[in-house]
Amino acid sequence: MPEEVEVTILDRSIITTYPRLREAARTAVVTYLAPNMPARTVRIPLTELFGEKEEQAEKEIAAKKGDLYAKYIEAEDKAIQDDIRAYKAYKPEVKRITI
């Protein structure tokens, strides 16, 4: 059964990286906070998600309205859901050391 979790978005920034020389890629970097977890960051590749409409999508994301913004929010929600699942599945290693 799906669990509903309240997530607080701490920061949402759009950055440019260059995976190949002279080839810019725009990425949304979202830092969020969920209960019983440290602050986490996910990345949403805008260039892959929107292609030629990337510039228009950035404007809609900034304005928080429009069809491309709705598509972005779906991708952001999925990225956060996947990250929370991965975090909860992670089993930390515990070891004893002498100091």
Which stretches of the chain score pLDDT less than 70? Answer: 1
Predicted confidence at residue 2, as pLDDT, reads: 77
Tokens representing 40? 């986490």
Instruction: Give residue-wise pLDDT tens across range 37-59.
Output: 999 999 999 999 999 999 999 99
Predicted confidence at residue 25, as pLDDT, reads: 93
pTM here is 0.85
Predicted confidence at residue 3, as pLDDT, reads: 82
Task: Report the DSSP beta bridge partners of residue 32.
Answer: 9, 40
